[in-house]
Structure 1
């Protein structure tokens, strides 16, 4: 994946609804997620969003990730406080919550988000590190 690739929002459950012309929302593989992280290292407009519980997050997460628990009652309002014009890589444990999360982000008007297919289970199975 090169820096010229468009960032896409993808949910764990996957979204079947259409995106607007101003949105890029899609699922990507863990290898593409790793490349996305590498290509955007140090950029202030890129965020890695972990939507697992704080307990899951504390057991190991992608470096630099921020944690907003999808299962918390305030998920939509917390995500709503994020800048909708930034680029996000979203992940959960397997793919369900991140898909639901990116559906919410799409509905809130976020322009770019990628859902990491397979979540942390696929990430670890591919040999990528967590902190």
Structure 2
């Protein structure tokens, strides 16, 4: 087992999907840490992060099982490959999704307290 590793775990709602064929086939998955906001004229998922799936079997499984709005529990690693040009910006493909499971009851998502991120950053600075 390697001594060094980088992993992530996320619980969230699938906000968007984009299948890219070039330069290499990959599925871009936007995951929101907040449920959709159903306000007319507003983006239902204003805060989301893009994750990347490159394994063809995992892509097929994901596309056949998951829809926008589904809650998932996912994990993966950090793998800086490149940036994908999209409209007027670029998408960072650092977060490589390696596995997931669909949460049947989206109420399983438990929002973190507002001071959670501040506390986590404080602890990181201490180490």
Fold equivalence (TM over 0.5): no
Structure showing greater relative contact order (alpha-carbon pairs closer than 8 Å, 6 or more residues apart)? 1
Larger Rg: 2
For normalisation by structure 2, the TM-score amounts to 0.28
- In terms of fraction of residues, the more strand-rich structure is 2
- In terms of fraction of residues, the more helix-rich structure is 1
